[in-house]
Amino acid sequence: MTSFFMNTVLLEKNRWEEGQNPSIAVSDWLPKLRTDGFDGIELWENHSLKASEPEIQLLKHSSIPVEVYNSYVSFEDGFEQQRAQAANMVNRLRANKIKFNFGKDPERLDEYIQNFQDWKEQLPNQCTFLCECHPGTVMEDPKIAKGVFKRIGSNDIGAMIHPFHKGTDVKSWFKHLGEKVVYAHVSLFDGSRFHLLERYPEFVESRIQVLKENGFNGDFSLEFTEGTALENEKTEQLYHNAIRDISFLKVRWKSLAKET
């Protein structure tokens, strides 16, 4: 059954600032998330790695679970300590899924894969690993991504795509990866800015239709929304917009499910 998560990076104004120090405690937002339609959270790594011990305990024991741990750890040589720290936090929070990114240098692909395989050994057997197939990384091309997945050769790794970016060729991802596509980051990016899903209803519905036609039954995570990265970005407004997006997406997802 498809679930809908809040990605806590959406609420974090310092996500791209130097040091990436959290400006919020995620635990303050947890009580309203379930009421507002979210099934769990995708936790931005620094909302735990740079959090206090009491905050970590609140996240660990929350009634709304940390479903996905959102890691940006490097798989280059020399980052063994950072990978160990990430693995330790995943184990502490008991997250079932881990989002990760490979780097951008195709000449280092062997290095990325080997370090990823070593990192996997530090994590629970039941974990699912979600590779963000993102522009600017070696996984941005579906054909190349297919080859990388084949080399890794593991059933516990899936692909994460961005189906509501105007530049994403959703059909190509399914053509090359098929059932490996198991997770979607939700943000509608067009013209160098993010928009509410409801502003482009026909486009959103067309992308949902492609997902449905290709058998997608994975989960959605609200990554960014209208107002993200603006000079006067306000967390409360972002949260309000995220609720509008999740509500819009749920209605369209369920209505199209009945038609297919």
pLDDT digits (tens, 9 = 90+) for 176-202: 999 999 999 999 998 889 999 999 999
From 193, 196, 120, select the one nearest 157 (Cα to Cα). 120
Quickly count helices (H) and strands (E) in the chain.
9, 10
Residue 58, CB-side half-sphere exposure with 13 Å CA sphere: 14
Query: Could you list the residue range(s) of the whole structural domain that residue 90 is in?
Result: 4-259
Specify the 3-state DSSP secondary structure of 6: strand
Give the type of residue at 41: I
| Token pair 């959103």 in the structure block, residue | 204
Report pLDDT digits (tens) over 137-190: 999 999 999 999 999 988 899 999 999 999 999 999 999 999 999 999 999 998
> Cα–Cα–Cα angle for 141, 145, 148, nearest 5°?
145
According to DSSP, residue 177 is labeled H
| Token pair 């936790």 in the structure block, residue | 43
**Cα–Cα distance measured from residue 247 to residue 241, given in angstroms and rounded to the nearest whole number:** 10
Residue 117, CB-side half-sphere exposure with 13 Å CA sphere: 11
In this prediction the pTM is 0.95
Does residue 258 have a pLDDT over 70? no
What does the pLDDT average to over 19-33?
95
- Phi/psi of residue 108, nearest 5 degrees: -110, 15
> Cα–Cα–Cα angle for 164, 243, 42, nearest 5°?
70
pLDDT band at 206 (very low <50, low <70, confident <90, very high): very high
The CATH number assigned to the domain holding 188 equals: 3.20.20.150
When divided into structural domains, the chain yields a total of: 1
What does the pLDDT average to over 234-240?
96
Report pLDDT digits (tens) over 42-92: 999 999 999 999 999 999 999 999 999 999 999 999 999 999 999 999 999
